[in-house]
Amino acid sequence: MRRTLKQLLVLTLFIGNSLVITAESISAHEHAERTHNNIILILQTKNALFEEDSELFIQEISNAFSPIVDFQRIARNVMGKYYKVSTSSQRDRFAEAFRTSLLNTYSKTLIEFKDEKILVLPPKNKSKSPNKVKVDIEIITSSKSYPGVYSMYLDKNNEWKIINIVVNGINLGLTFRSQFYSLMEKNNNDISIVIDEWIASL
């Protein structure tokens, strides 16, 4: 399950290395398409860096990927019902742990999938809300293709951010939440211990 989740995560997160893009200059669909192209460019020009200095490669990917994902909001959704009963310190610790785990998984495994392609499909219907949009994608591998959807919204700085991904029917946000809830049950609902275990798994 962990391996499958890792592969799905990497296949769907070909995003990064873009300038800050606001609603006035580009749509969410254009944003996703440009950033896919940019991350492929990173792989083409810096993939040798992974062998020479893996930590620096991870940092390159992290720097490119971080600005366009709302880690705080995703982490809050992963905590679900436990978010309200957690302390501010626990929320911050988990958000940082989640961010690190996501970036490490993405960066370390990305090099394995450098020949995959992701197509951003044209919008099917106009979004009901100007601040939220679903971006349909198609993930193409050497053997098959998978449908996917990015959930994106405009943050307070008027920048498009990804807050969830569904690929081939698997909702990554709900999958992470299920993992968090399972750890909570295992550890008698002790949020601090759950965060410690999450950090230890990095």
Residue 143 sits in a domain whose CATH number is 3.10.450.710
Please compute, for residue 100, the number of CA atoms within 13 A of its CA located in the half-sphere on the CB side: 13
Q: 66 is in which domain, residue-wise?
A: 2-200
Mean pLDDT (the chain, rounded): 80
* pLDDT bucket at 9, cuts 50 / 70 / 90: low
Q: How many domains would you assign to the chain?
A: 1
Res 111: pLDDT:
63
Tell whether the model's pLDDT for residue 121 goes beyond 90.
no
pLDDT tens per residue, range 82-109:
999 999 999 999 999 998 888 777 666 5
Res 31: pLDDT:
75
111 or 195, greater pLDDT: 195
Res 45: pLDDT:
78
